[in-house]
A = this chain, B = another copy of it.
Amino acid sequence: MVDKRDPTLFSEQVARSIERDIRDGKYDLENPLPSEVALQATYGVARGTVRAALALLRERGVVETMPFRGTFIARK
- Interface residues of A, Cβ cutoff 8 Å to B: 4-7, 9, 30, 64, 66-69, 72, 75
Contacts and interface: CB of A to CB of B under 8 A. Distances in A.
| Copies of this protein, total | 2
Contacts of A69: 4
A69 B5 CA distance: 9
B68 A9 contact: yes
Given A4-B66, A4-B69, A7-B67, 6 more contacts: A4-B30, A5-B64, A5-B72, A5-B75, A6-B66, A7-B64
Contacts of A75: 5
A2 to B, nearest CB: 11
A4 B64 CA distance: 12
